[in-house]
């Protein structure tokens, strides 16, 4: 499978596969975000998810995929630091603000800065039509966040801090997207990067979550939490794996923009699963996000 994927790099078939992978990553990332914001404390959810995907990835990293080349260890260290910062910021933001307000801001910051970063790091060029698509998509994303904020009934007292944290989290999204795209292109086998990334990345949050769980006066039962962690791990594997493979097959910036249609899926999940309010204006804003992604794709 590795040889087949590598053979598609820079081809039209690779472009089409990258499109499919980016959209799949968008849906799964919205599911992943809802799991972290949903029933349990975001710190506990993240710890359970990370612990599960670290355990699942360990045998693949150690015994299945080729071992990383020597230069990859420094790259893994950089990815580890960046993702720890991202997860800490994200957990703080989710613990202080409504999912349908915080999530669009986080995701809206990502594609703009990722395109800028990809232009600098990878020399990617984007025409005015694609920039128009980015503008349309960002207008929909931030419009959705503003609308949700205007009609928010709970968590208002902590929302200002949550929005600041959401902006910071979005900057980390752009940073890890660009950096990880560099990492997965720096190794001969992309699955080596993915297996070792998940193995290493799963080491930090479980101890933090365990300490937080022990300090709670009312501790949630562990088995349902671990079950949620396992489900989240599956979402993480396919979401992050899909977007990383998409960045290896095609432009990093385009993949990042298409992934942010996750905001549409997140709004639907917030309505259907988390019982958050939705209406015609929000549907129109979600359609604007989707339109922006289409314009970016057609403009390429």
What's residue 292's pLDDT?
Answer: 80
Half-sphere exposure of 238 (CA within 13 A, CB side): 15
What's residue 63's pLDDT?
Answer: 96
Residue-range definition of the domain harbouring residue 217: 2-299
CA–CA dist 147, 104 (Å, integer): 11
CA–CA dist 238, 20 (Å, integer): 12
CA–CA dist 10, 18 (Å, integer): 10
Low-confidence ranges of the chain (pLDDT < 70): 33-39, 100, 152-158, 274-279, 300
CA–CA dist 160, 170 (Å, integer): 15
Give the pTM.
Answer: 0.82
CA–CA dist 102, 221 (Å, integer): 27
Tens digit of each residue's pLDDT (9 = 90 or more) over 236-259 = 899 989 999 999 998 888 888 788
Q: Provide the number of structural domains found in the chain.
A: 1
State the burial class of residue 132 (Cβ atoms within 10 Å of its Cβ: 0-12, 13-18, 19+).
middle
What's residue 98's pLDDT?
Answer: 72
For every residue of the chain, DSSP letters joined together read -HHHHHHTTTSHHHHHHHHHHHHHHHHHHHHHHHHHHSSS-HHHHHHHHHHHHHHHHHHIIIIISPPPPTTHHHHHHHHHHHHHHHHHHHHHHHTTS-HHHHHHHHHHHHHHHHHHHHHHHH-----HHHHHHHHHHHHHHHHHHHHHHHT--SSGGGHHHHHHHHHHHHHHHHHHHHHHHHHHHSSS-HHHHHHHHHHHHTTSHHHHHHHHHHH-SSPPPHHHHHHHHHHHHHHHHHHHHHHHHHHHHS-HHHHHHHHTTHHHHHHHHHHHTS-----HHHHHHHHHHHHHHHHHHHH-
What's residue 157's pLDDT?
Answer: 66
């Amino acid at each position: 499978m590795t040889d087949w994927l590598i053979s598609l790099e820079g081809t039209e078939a690779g472009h089409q596969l990258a499109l499919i992978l980016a959209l799949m990553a968008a849906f799964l990332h919205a599911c992943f975000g809802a799991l972290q914001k949903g029933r349990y404390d975001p710190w506990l959810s993240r710890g359970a998810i990370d612990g599960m995907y670290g355990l699942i990835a360990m045998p693949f990293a150690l015994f299945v995929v080729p071992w990383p080349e020597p230069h990859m260890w420094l790259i893994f260290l950089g990815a580890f630091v960046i993702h720890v910062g991202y997860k800490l910021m994200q957990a703080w933001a989710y613990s202080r603000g409504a999912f349908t307000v915080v999530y669009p801001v986080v995701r809206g910051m990502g594609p703009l800065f990722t395109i800028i970063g990809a232009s600098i790091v990878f020399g990617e060029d984007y025409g005015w039509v694609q920039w128009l698509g980015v503008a349309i998509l960002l207008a929909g994303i931030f419009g959705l966040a503003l609308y949700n904020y205007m009609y928010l009934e709970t968590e208002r007292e902590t929302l200002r801090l949550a929005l600041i944290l959401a902006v910071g989290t979005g900057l980390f999204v752009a940073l890890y997207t660009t950096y990880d795209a560099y990492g997965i292109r720096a190794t001969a086998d992309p699955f080596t990067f993915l297996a070792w990334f998940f193995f290493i990345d799963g080491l930090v949050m479980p101890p933090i979550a365990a300490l937080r769980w022990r300090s709670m006066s009312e501790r949630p039962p562990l088995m349902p939490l671990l079950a949620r962690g396992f489900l989240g791990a599956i979402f993480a594997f396919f979401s992050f794996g899909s977007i990383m493979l998409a960045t290896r097959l095609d432009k990093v910036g385009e993949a990042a923009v298409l992934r942010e249609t996750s905001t549409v899926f997140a709004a639907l999940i917030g309505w259907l699963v988390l019982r958050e309010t939705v209406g015609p204006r929000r549907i129109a804003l979600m359609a604007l996000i989707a339109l922006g992604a289409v314009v970016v794709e057609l403009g390429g």
